[in-house]
Amino acid sequence: MRIYPAIDIKNGVCVRLKMGDMDQATTYGDPSDMAKKWESMGAGYLHIVDLDAAFAGTFSNYDTVAKILRLVRIPVQFGGGVRTMADIDTRLGGLGIHRVIIGTAAYENPELLSEAAAKYPGRIVAGIDAKDGRVSTRGWATRTDADPVTLALEMKKRGVTAVVYTDIGRDGMMTGPNVGAVKNMVDKTGLDIIASGGMSCIDDVRNLLKTGAEGVIIGKALYSGDIDLQSAIQTGENEC
* Residues that are catalytic: 8, 129
- Distance separating alpha carbons of residues 42 and 1, to the nearest angstrom: 14
E strands, the chain, in order: 2-10, 13-18, 21-27, 46-50, 76-79, 99-102, 124-131, 134-137, 142-143, 162-167, 192-196, 215-218
Gap between the terminal Cα atoms of the chain:
9
Do 38 and 217 meet the contact criterion of CB atoms below 8 Å apart? no
Pairing of strands 2-10, 46-50: parallel
- Distance separating alpha carbons of residues 53 and 140, to the nearest angstrom: 12
CA-closest candidate to residue 191, choices 211, 172, 173: 211
* Type and span of the H or E element at 75: none
